[in-house]
Amino acid sequence: MSHPHPELQKPPRLPKNGLRVVGLGGLGEIGRNMTVFEHHGKLLIVDCGVLFPEEHQPGIDVILPDFSWIRDRLDSVVGLVLTHGHEDHIGGVPYLLRERADIPVIGSRLTLALIREKLKEHRIVPKLHEVAEGDRKPYGPFDLEFLAVNHSIPDGLAVGIRTSAGTVLHTGDFKMDQFPLDRRITDLRGFARLGEEGVDLFLTDSTNAEVPGFTMSERDLAPAIEQVFRTAPRRIIVSSFASHVHRIQQVLDTSHAHGRKVAFVGRSMVRNMGVAQELGYLKVPKGLIVPLDQLEKLPAHKATLVCTGSQGEPMAALARMANRDHKIRVGEGDTILMASSAVPGNENAISGLINNLSRWGAQVVHKGNAKVHVSGHASAGELVYCYNIVKPRNVMPVHGEWRHLKANADLAVATGVPEDHVVIAEDGVVVDLVDGHAKIVGKVRAGNVYVDAQTVGGATEATLKDRRTLAEEGVVTVLAIVDADTGTLADPPDFLVRGFVHEPNAFDPAVQVIEKTLARAAAEGIGDPQQLEQMLSREIGRWAHRAFRRSPLIIPLVIDA
């Protein structure tokens, strides 16, 4: 198996007959999926998503792929294909289009409707190219064919990319539900047809590669959902991803059958369901949906609420209800149906949410105590079928942490793909397909780009390190009035302490450290306040670590006397 070497360098020039593939996100992590293809001097991008921050990234809204590798060549981008409308595939689009607004954005009807709404908020009018399964259309040297795939949002597409260097099949996110609500199944006949023609490189979804067997059908949730509606004595509050049209369809249908009215709660839920209903993806019986204020006037056993917040996001409707920070008061007899599973990293937040909701007397039905969720991704069994059907010459697993990529690679090898034709690449690793063989040839920059409120890239790893230090160790500000000529303190220094357990007078012995440091600086002819601050920060930090076994953030302020 081909693994990236830790000291990979800048890649060589791409041979004329070669196809270059670089994942700028989604390889080695779940989220911010973005794959760039280069051929004959042109670039094709598949997806541009965001990654949601974890606890060790405080204050960050979302994380973007690093565009620096393509920034100087945005004019060569012939198109941006969006495989489906999930945030981890489309969330980064506004930030890419800020750099070049007229990149053709190619996707299915629902995907484009969702991105159009999102771009409105960013005041960007995109160039949208709507495609559907079965369409074939060239973009520069890339001859694209779109195939239907089934996933946890409707209207997903896989993309076949024919080039003079070979043919690529990129699945996007997919699974193989044989009985989806919309009867639109993953086009295995199309996969087979492309396989027959010859697939030189197969990029396939690794998210569930470690899960044995087959992902259950969305329809298998019907009995558990029915059970909730049959037994709930009062209100039912359902939380789900705002894009899971089929899950919400099941909730609407069951509500209707039990004579309950439904209100959508939360901006993204209202917006997305509006779009899905308008385009016919969500089928709503007449009179079923009512505004929230009307629903509140109905008897509790006639009411269903559908809201966001299934991941414990603090600002989403469900968490605010649990914290009594929402006009909807959860109480005794309410039933909460959490119709989703935890995205890795969110388990603690979700557990806290379940505790809070239960504390108010609500009955919480979740994945842990009822069959109310199935995954949106193909399990190992489905992936093996795909390898056997497509018979790819080379395989590059995508969408997953290292363990998922490795598990998917192992499946490819088990079906007979030669080991040296299976490439495990992390973000930024450059893979060239030349003469029918895909190989790792180098690495480009692909770090985290942090969005922090209005700034993109302003917050860096150093910022996050400071924030973590502030959170865990506290901060000590040292105000020193210095006579730079003599290198002496004009007054005793002041210590201001926040989030640090020791009193300011615990720093009295540090005065000697400051005096020594200033004397040394004067001897070396250093009088610049900024340089003095750096020296003081280092020396006081060392002293504090010796004295307290803690490393607070030290902020010296040197004022010239």
User: Could you tell me the smallest distance in angstroms from the CB atom of residue 193 to Zn ion?
Assistant: 24
Measured between alpha carbons, how far is 305 from 60 in angstroms, rounded to an integer? 30
Please answer whether residues 405 and 424 qualify as being in contact, where contact means their C-beta atoms are separated by less than 8 angstroms.
Answer: yes
Q: By C-beta, is 373 or 393 nearer to Zn ion?
A: 373
Q: By C-beta, is 82 or 365 nearer to Zn ion?
A: 82
Q: By C-beta, is 150 or 335 nearer to Zn ion?
A: 150
Window of 40-48, 123-131, 167-175, 332-340 that interacts with Zn ion by CB under 5 A? 167-175
Q: By C-beta, is 173 or 187 nearer to Zn ion?
A: 173
**260 contacts: CB under 8 Å, gap ≥ 6:** 229, 236, 301, 302, 303, 304
Window of 36-44, 82-90, 185-193, 416-424 that interacts with Zn ion by CB under 5 A? 82-90
What amino acid occupies position 553?
Answer: L
336: closest CA among 270, 265, 284, 286?
Answer: 265
> Could you say which of 47, 66, 145, 173 contacts Zn ion (CB under 5 A)?
173
Please count the other Cβ atoms lying within 10 Å of the Cβ belonging to residue 552: 24
Q: By C-beta, is 343 or 471 nearer to Zn ion?
A: 343
User: Could you tell me the smallest distance in angstroms from the CB atom of residue 89 to Zn ion?
Assistant: 6
Q: By C-beta, is 154 or 160 nearer to Zn ion?
A: 154
Q: Report the interhelical angle of 222-231 vs 245-257 (nearest 10°).
A: 40
Measured between alpha carbons, how far is 503 from 511 in angstroms, rounded to an integer? 15
Measured between alpha carbons, how far is 382 from 375 in angstroms, rounded to an integer? 13
Binding to Zn ion by CB under 5 A, coded x per residue (else -) over 469-508, reads ----------------------------------------
Binding to Zn ion by CB under 5 A, coded x per residue (else -) over 276-305, reads ------------------------------
CA angle 510, 514, 516 (to 5 degrees): 115
Give the number of residues in contact with Zn ion, rule: CB under 5 A: 2
Q: By C-beta, is 157 or 424 nearer to Zn ion?
A: 157
Window of 84-92, 94-102, 361-369, 493-501 that interacts with Zn ion by CB under 5 A? 84-92
User: Could you tell me the smallest distance in angstroms from the CB atom of residue 340 to Zn ion?
Assistant: 13
User: Could you tell me the smallest distance in angstroms from the CB atom of residue 129 to Zn ion?
Assistant: 21
Window of 166-174, 305-313, 337-345, 513-521 that interacts with Zn ion by CB under 5 A? 166-174
Measured between alpha carbons, how far is 175 from 527 in angstroms, rounded to an integer? 66
Measure Cα distances from 402 to 8, 174, 413 in Å.
17, 19, 16
> Could you say which of 20, 39, 42, 86 contacts Zn ion (CB under 5 A)?
86
Three-class SS of 347-369: HHHHHHHHHHHHHCCCEEECCCC
Please count the other Cβ atoms lying within 10 Å of the Cβ belonging to residue 35: 26
Measured between alpha carbons, how far is 155 from 180 in angstroms, rounded to an integer? 12
Q: By C-beta, is 88 or 200 nearer to Zn ion?
A: 88
User: Could you tell me the smallest distance in angstroms from the CB atom of residue 374 to Zn ion?
Assistant: 14
Please answer whether residues 229 and 137 qualify as being in contact, where contact means their C-beta atoms are separated by less than 8 angstroms.
Answer: no
Q: By C-beta, is 14 or 275 nearer to Zn ion?
A: 275
Measure Cα distances from 216 to 76, 351, 374, 376, 529 in Å.
42, 24, 6, 9, 65
User: Could you tell me the smallest distance in angstroms from the CB atom of residue 376 to Zn ion?
Assistant: 6
Q: Which positions from 380 through 419 interact with Zn ion, judged by CB under 5 A?
A: none
Measure Cα distances from 546 to 122, 471, 509, 522 in Å.
50, 20, 12, 25
User: Could you tell me the smallest distance in angstroms from the CB atom of residue 83 to Zn ion?
Assistant: 8
Window of 80-88, 162-170, 183-191, 472-480 that interacts with Zn ion by CB under 5 A? 80-88
Q: By C-beta, is 173 or 452 nearer to Zn ion?
A: 173
User: Could you tell me the smallest distance in angstroms from the CB atom of residue 174 to Zn ion?
Assistant: 9
512, with CB counted inside 10 A (0-12, 13-18, 19+), is exposed
Q: Report the interhelical angle of 510-523 vs 529-548 (nearest 10°).
A: 140
User: Could you tell me the smallest distance in angstroms from the CB atom of residue 377 to Zn ion?
Assistant: 8
Window of 173-181, 205-213, 293-301, 484-492 that interacts with Zn ion by CB under 5 A? 173-181
User: Could you tell me the smallest distance in angstroms from the CB atom of residue 357 to Zn ion?
Assistant: 27
Site for Zn ion, rule CB under 5 A: 86, 173
